[in-house]
Structure 1
Amino acid sequence: MLWTTRSDTASPLRWHWQHHGLGYWRQTLLIFLVLSTLLAGAAHLFHEADNASLRRSNLAASERNILRASYEFRHFISSATSDLLALSTSPQVNLLAQGDQPEARRQVTELFYRLLYYKPVFSQLRFLDADGQELVRLKRENSGRIAYTPSQELQNKAGRYYYQKSIKLPPDTLYVSPLDLNIEFGQIEIPWQPVIRVIKPIGTAEGNQGVIVLNISARSFLENFAIGNSGTRSMALLNNRGYWLAGAPDDQLWGFMFGKPNSLKDTHPQLWQQIEEEGKGEAVIDGRHYLFSTLTPADLIEQEVMTSALSGYRLQTDDERWIFMSTYREPAPLWSTEHLPRALILLLITLMFSLFIARTMAARHTAEQINHINEQKMLQMERLASLGTVVAGVAHEVNTPLGNALTIASTLREHAGELTSGLRSGRIGRNRLEALLQEIDDGSGMLTESLHRASNIIQNFKEIAVDQTSERRRRFRIDEFLHELVRLHETQMRGTGINLKVRGNTSLMMDSLPGPLGQVVGNLITNARLHGFSDGGPGEIWVEASAAGRGQVQIRVSDNGRGIPENLLPKIFNPFFTTRMNTGGSGLGLSIVQNIVNSILGGEISVASQHGHGTVFTLMLPVSAPQPRQSDNRYGADEDSASP
């Protein structure tokens, strides 16, 4: 090299210094500064992008958590109100309300025990008379055992706020107490037992004869708030005065029960003022984001499940609102002390800038993939939340006939006992015997009808949950298929005055799924019979098929019945929409039909109707049905389930 040929033996560094002087190092320093500046600028941009992604992720997670918690709370209250209303209408409870009789107390105790046995979330169930004295009290112990309280240990609750509030209410009003800690013998129970009490007055417009008090354990519900809480994100629940019910350290919880001034109103007055003014929104205080949403009793009643459960009833509570709040920390800026070591390392590896860029881009790509996966999970959670609403509706629909069946079965058991006792003693008269037999016969019919209704609701829900068939496809003539289908349904028309006919005679061949198609047409025929001719015939239902061009077939199911009112047409395909709720209709039939036509047969369905002049359902289907996805059998695992 050049420097080795010189006469002196100076080092390369000294040679560069001697031949380039200070300007060389200035240039080197300038390049270093430029590269460092570029690197720092790039690092800042990428860090801000990552922070923005983290903010979106935190915001989405917080919104999901609030949505989940508020939905669980709605279901938490609605389930209790439904059961309490069913309980309050039982003859055993009303008999006890008329007077403290040993037999009535025994029957109510058995009834309360059954409810606590099947509903583990219920921690206590009591009946208090008009003076606040407990007549019946059953409590679930920490071990899970249901304990009956002896008469000598029953307490007088006339001084408790929830009794004083509820005993004065009209019989058509339910009282929901604030969420607080249970108190026994004037002391807060240890360990803490957070409860909400739902209370139903028993009586008439002239006065109440007592109240039923249902304690709902909120322990598991509140413990869910701590799941997933970390230093960056957490969930909390507050009452209408800003006291912490969940999501805070133990020494900050339930401050109103211990006289502590540690509410959110005391510690963060600015945030509390914004919550009171807006009800729902977001606040940023000292680098921390607070997302909040307020739930009121009116919000509970507006829910579909609660509207059905509280039909004809009012809801009253001292908690004017419940505040669901999710918080997360604002990501720290790049030049904060938290990131100082990283910034120093970046400055020291300026010469490896290209490698750093490559690694940063790879990290960004990974972050985008994670965001994409999270978005897919969000979509899946939204679908599950929607299904949760349907499940809640089905659960309520099933609860009503099952509750009726339980009440009827209890009554039948009492009548059977009376009949057996009378026959053994020989002291039962003929008139009483005939009356008991008639009541048992009527009750058996009502019991069977309730159980059939529950079975139909469950079966219909199973059908709506499937949307892809596993049945093999085949080729068939559409006219022969419709004739066979009509013959199957003609038996339903016997004695009704309704004629079911096939019009037209097309020999069009289809390569499709006869099971789902048969279910669709069969459901439309049944729908026309039940709704178009709800009062019976005479009338006619026609089924016809014709080629529609472009590889499609048109199938029409029409009738000359009473038709559908114009204001109901946009709703008929909605799940659980029915005009026959009081006669056993579940409202799932046309929703199932639309699901099968769109998702399985690859077609479209439309309806035209004029009130008083009949209805026409039109199916536009491809002659060759789309191939089902092998890895996604959405229609159902049982191939026979698709048959009409």
Structure 2
Amino acid sequence: MLMHGFFLAQAQLERERRIASVTSTVHRTADLVGAILAAHANDVRILAALMPVRNFAAGDDSARAGVIRIFSAFVEQKPVIAQLRYLDAAGWERVRVDGVDGKITVVPVDELQDKSDRYYFRNAIHLPPTEIYVSPVDLNVEHGVVDDPWNPMPRLARTIPGPDGRALGIVIVNIRADEMIREVDRGGRDGDGEIQWLNGDGYWLAGAPRDKLWGFMFGRDTTMAKIRPTAWARIFANRGDGVTVGTDDGVTYIHRSVTPAAVLSETGSDEGAAADWKFVGTIPAVGLADLWTPRHIGFAVAGLVLLAALSLAWSRSVVARHRAEAREAAAAQELIMVERLASLGGLVAGVAHELNTPIGNAVTVASTIGERIKDFRAEAEAGPLRRASLDAFLSDVGDGAALMLRGLDRTARLIQQFKQVAVDQTSQQRRRFRIADTVQDVLGTLGPQFKHTAIRIESEVGTDALLDSYPGPLGQVVMNLVNNARVHAFAPGAAGVIRIAARSTAGNRIEITVADDGAGMPEEVRRRAFEPFFTTRLGEGGSGLGLSIVHNIVAGVLGGSVDIASEPGTGTIFTVSIPCVAPAEPESGRIYNVGS
């Protein structure tokens, strides 16, 4: 009986560890796939705004050569682009550049095709010029036959408006999805469970056996809805994040829904595109074989020794019980470390997403300036140079250089902020710092996670106090409290405000508050908020570790206290009070359970 209880406890700890690990992997994979898509959406925006492209769309056939040079430069610099086209308002290809195995091919005029009946043209041509069209991800088809080997790709498009606001045509880019699929496969290889990518209809796009992939392209009903109906019903019903126990197969599913257009811009549209993508991690039930590892053999031996000791004397059972508690605390500490690294992994994905835009702008502008210089040199060599041409050239180059400087300056600042946060997060080095700098660095790296939400972050640091403490753990506290508000205080898509404030208080202390105007907590939830693994959102992305880590760090490392004030419907206020000079020896290994 005792051994049975022991293994049940170990199985629960192992399950929680796997849930934390796979949740991190699912979120990181979804963020990276979204970042790849966003980078290429930025290419489409820039291409549609370039003057030669706009002139060609307006009917200036002399601009066609310039459009071909620009398109060819893009495809050459970005091998992931399979095809780059301009289609007129009637759906005819006017310029098409293909990239296959590093070879750039400009399709001759007499081989350009009518695409007016293709779904992507019909859906994209009616969108306003502020929006990006995102097609479903499917396999490329040539002459009615699916390419073999498979060539999966989404298509991104943007309209070019005329003087009356109606579309003159569209710029459309076909993106090879190989890099996205590699991120999904890498997540499955490196984590504690398989990672799968499904479309909104439940068809597998990656992370499944070949005979289950791309069923809709071959008329096969190989969907999760057909094969795992109960699990799919629960996953499909949840448009956010979550943990679902599939009662039809006993597997735990960690899932995240991503609307493709939502990762592109605040004004993006998924009209005509597939429904949300589903990134799903699978965790089989934990059995005895999973526990019989070198790490757990010691646990089993200790349990047998305990059982033998009980037959000799009850007093020895007390010692064994304390040892079991120590082992459980060590396992819990391991889970906490997984959660801390998961938050850093989320920052990496967010920062990578943010860097794509300014770096992509810089590359694109540099390429465009190079083409502009070629055109200007040819004009100068052809004869007398007009003043208007010189002014236009200087204006274009000046605007391009200014755009590059702004983008690269933004990149440098973001990298510096993330570098400081990353160094602090992966260590507990003590140093002197100002609270305002730590708050600014953390908020700078958290920004990408809020970019496509209606939640606003405000900060007011009313002190210039210098701390002799641990900036990494303190940054983790602020990060966890802000993310807790993002996940728990607001319903998906709801607007709200998270306010961060800091001030000096009596006794050489600092008080930090993180307040939101969200849903608030009932009293029974408030009392248990800091308990490890307690969460009200287990089915929607919560792991139950974030606030436990906050209490551990504040009380054990920073030598302070943390309190909660909350009522349903009035929001929540977390108040952290810490000394300006941290204790000499932090109790960083201690696990706190403050539930009542």
Query: What TM-score range do you get, normalising by the shorter chain?
Result: 0.5 to 0.7
Alignment of 1:16-35 (within 5 A): none
Partner of 1:276 in structure 2? 236
Partner of 1:488 in structure 2? none
Of 199, 207, 219, the residue aligned with 1:259 is 219
Of 128, 135, 138, the residue aligned with 1:180 is 138
Partner of 1:328 in structure 2? 283
Is 2:253 aligned against 1:293?
no
Mapped to 1, the partners of 2:465 and 2:355 lie a distance apart of 20
Deviation track 1:25-84 (CA, whole Å, cap 9, x = no partner) reads xxxxxxxxxxxxxxxx22212211121111102211221122112212321221121111
CA apart distance, 1:88: 0.4
Give 3-state SS (helix, strand or coil) of 1:227's partner.
Answer: helix
Alignment of 1:299-448 (within 5 A): 299-300=262-263, 306-307=265-266, 310=267, 314-332=269-287, 353=308, 369=330, 372-373=333-334, 375-400=336-361, 403-404=364-365, 406-423=367-384, 433-448=386-401
CA apart distance, 1:274: 2.3
Deviation track 1:78-106 (CA, whole Å, cap 9, x = no partner) reads 112111101100112122223473x5333
Deviation track 1:595-616 (CA, whole Å, cap 9, x = no partner) reads 99658999x9xxxxxxxxxxxx
Of 21, 24, 36, the residue aligned with 1:61 is 21
Partner of 2:93 in structure 1? 134
Equivalent residue pairs, number: 440
Deviation track 1:397-447 (CA, whole Å, cap 9, x = no partner) reads 444465445445533442332232123xxxx6xxxx222232333334334
Identity among equivalent positions (%) equals 24
Judging changes above 3 Å, is the alpha-carbon distance between structure 1 residues 597 and 161 closer, same or farther for their aligned structure 2 residues? Answer: farther
Mapped to 2, the partners of 1:184 and 1:86 lie a distance apart of 28
Note if contact 1:574-1:591 (Cα within 8 Å) is conserved in structure 2.
Answer: no
Note if contact 1:174-1:316 (Cα within 8 Å) is conserved in structure 2.
Answer: no
Mapped to 2, the partners of 1:51 and 1:194 lie a distance apart of 40
Partner of 1:166 in structure 2? 124
Is 2:64 aligned against 1:195?
no
Note if contact 1:100-1:135 (Cα within 8 Å) is conserved in structure 2.
Answer: no
Note if contact 1:132-1:163 (Cα within 8 Å) is conserved in structure 2.
Answer: yes
Note if contact 1:125-1:137 (Cα within 8 Å) is conserved in structure 2.
Answer: yes
CA apart distance, 1:266: 2.2
Mapped to 2, the partners of 1:601 and 1:371 lie a distance apart of 22
Partner of 1:3 in structure 2? none
Task: Give the superposed CA RMSD.
Answer: 4.7
Alignment of 1:22-171 (within 5 A): 41-99=1-59, 101=61, 103-141=62-100, 143-171=101-129
Give 3-state SS (helix, strand or coil) of 1:136's partner.
Answer: strand
Judging changes above 3 Å, is the alpha-carbon distance between structure 1 residues 211 and 329 closer, same or farther for their aligned structure 2 residues? Answer: same
Mapped to 1, the partners of 2:307 and 2:399 lie a distance apart of 83
Partner of 1:563 in structure 2? none
Judging changes above 3 Å, is the alpha-carbon distance between structure 1 residues 221 and 355 closer, same or farther for their aligned structure 2 residues? Answer: farther
Unaligned runs of 5+ in 2: 290-296, 312-316, 422-430, 448-458, 475-501, 510-579, 585-596
Note if contact 1:239-1:323 (Cα within 8 Å) is conserved in structure 2.
Answer: yes
Higher mean C-alpha displacement, 591-600 vs 279-288: 591-600
Note if contact 1:139-1:146 (Cα within 8 Å) is conserved in structure 2.
Answer: yes
CA apart distance, 1:196: 0.8
Unaligned runs of 5+ in 1: 1-40, 335-341, 469-511, 524-569, 579-589, 605-616, 630-644
Partner of 1:219 in structure 2? 178
CA apart distance, 1:367: 8.1
Of 384, 387, 403, the residue aligned with 1:450 is 403
Give 3-state SS (helix, strand or coil) of 2:154's partner.
Answer: strand
Deviation track 1:9-29 (CA, whole Å, cap 9, x = no partner) reads xxxxxxxxxxxxxxxxxxxxx
Judging changes above 3 Å, is the alpha-carbon distance between structure 1 residues 164 and 466 closer, same or farther for their aligned structure 2 residues? Answer: closer
Judging changes above 3 Å, is the alpha-carbon distance between structure 1 residues 351 and 97 closer, same or farther for their aligned structure 2 residues? Answer: closer
Mapped to 2, the partners of 1:452 and 1:163 lie a distance apart of 36
